[in-house]
């Protein structure tokens, strides 16, 4: 039983599944996307303030062990009964209560934490990054992923984005085809773009250690800036061997979620860079803790994404803005991959950077008509 206090309490927690079309097919090693599914969280408090959050993954269960449907189930049936009536201003107390009874489920926890921070920021008239210790930077460089699978189309797309000064770093998703085909694809794009752009590759765990040892030199020769998660996330010793073998920086993504993961990878020298994601770490506060361990170990930090919409991407932006060091930039392009979103003002990138909002909370508002139109359960009617 929760004791009533003079502080605002949580009165409702709603999880809404939203399906949004993408501007094109997005090909990864594990799946091909033609739409993105978001879980939008609305947290209501008895002082009339609402906090919003987002939990998003890639391709249902293709990327990880949490699906949009399981995230909603976790929030509705397990998290909701725990948090109703709790002090909405004590984010840490709410999260600790949830952690006692709900193991794992970092995406659901991230959406909850984001909503709590959004509500508290609105309550205090402060942006979320101020609640995380304050912004070190007011804008974030954002790369773009070229993932059509067609070299000519990717080259044309990259040149257009360079011309309008939206992106100058491009990630290539590889690992679905043979290594030789992938390397030819990467080399063709880098040769076409030349010094105008930097190229990174994400293998999404698709290679064996032997394949990585054989072909990473080819990627380096093609002009690649860094290689992301070339082998299975649970092969930390293999990642350490690869990191020692090559001069090109090796980035760990799926392998690192918690501060303990980061400590183990740092101890083994298993990565040069870590891809931070609020979804993996259970929220913005979790990302700050992982980044602190990386910083102490001298490992570079990079702001990753699970292709969230504007709510999740801006939540990530607040966290990344508050990280002491973020030398490798970010990939918060998720909203740009969507044909539409469910917010009043969508996140945008100009002059190669995303501005971090300075308004109270996240600085993002839901468009009720669009939410009603795109929500999967269609319980509301779209207003013409």
Catalytic positions, written as ranges = 173, 331
Contacts of 174 (CB under 8 A, 6+ apart): 29, 182, 185, 186, 201, 202, 203, 206
Distance (Å, rounded) from C-alpha 135 to C-alpha 368? 30
Greatest distance between any 2 Cα atoms in the chain:
65
Q: Give residues with Cβ within 8 angstroms of 82, minimum separation 6.
A: 97, 98, 101, 102
Q: How far apart are the first and last CA of the chain?
A: 44
């Amino acid at each position: 039983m929760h004791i009533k206090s003079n502080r605002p309490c949580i009165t409702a927690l709603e999880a809404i599944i939203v399906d949004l079309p993408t501007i094109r097919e997005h090909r990864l090693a594990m799946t091909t996307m033609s739409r993105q599914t978001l879980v939008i969280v609305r947290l209501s408090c008895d002082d009339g303030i609402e906090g919003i959050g987002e939990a998003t993954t890639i391709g249902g269960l293709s990327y990880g062990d949490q699906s949009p449907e399981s995230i909603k189930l976790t929030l509705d049936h397990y998290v909701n009964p725990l948090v109703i009536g709790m002090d909405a201003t004590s984010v840490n107390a709410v999260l600790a209560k949830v952690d006692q009874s709900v193991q794992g489920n970092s995406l659901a926890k991230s959406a909850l934490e984001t909503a709590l921070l959004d509500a508290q920021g609105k309550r205090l008239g402060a942006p979320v990054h101020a609640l995380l210790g304050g912004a070190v930077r007011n804008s974030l460089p954002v790369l773009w992923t070229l993932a059509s699978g067609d070299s000519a189309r990717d080259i044309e797309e990259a040149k257009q984005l360079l011309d309008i000064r939206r992106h100058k770093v491009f990630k290539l998703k590889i690992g679905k085809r043979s290594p030789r085909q992938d390397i030819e694809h990467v080399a063709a794009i880098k040769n076409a773009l030349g010094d105008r752009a930097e190229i990174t590759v994400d293998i999404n765990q698709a290679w064996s250690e032997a394949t990585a040892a054989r072909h990473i030199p080819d990627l380096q020769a093609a002009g690649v800036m860094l290689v992301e998660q070339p082998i299975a996330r649970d092969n930390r010793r293999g990642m350490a061997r690869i990191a020692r073998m090559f001069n090109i920086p090796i980035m760990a993504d799926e392998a690192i979620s918690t501060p303990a993961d980061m400590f183990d990878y740092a101890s083994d020298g298993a990565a040069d860079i870590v891809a931070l994601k609020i979804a993996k770490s259970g929220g913005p506060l979790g990302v700050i803790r992982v980044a602190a361990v990386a910083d102490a170990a001298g490992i570079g930090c990079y702001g990753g994404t699970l292709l969230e919409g504007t709510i999740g991407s801006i939540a990530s932006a607040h966290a990344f803005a508050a990280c002491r060091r973020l030398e490798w930039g970010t990939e918060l392009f998720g909203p740009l991959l969507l044909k539409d979103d469910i917010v009043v003002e969508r996140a945008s990138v100009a002059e190669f950077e995303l501005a971090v909002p300075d308004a109270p909370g996240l600085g993002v508002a839901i468009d009720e008509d669009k939410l009603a139109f795109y929500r999967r359960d269609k319980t509301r009617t779209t207003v013409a």
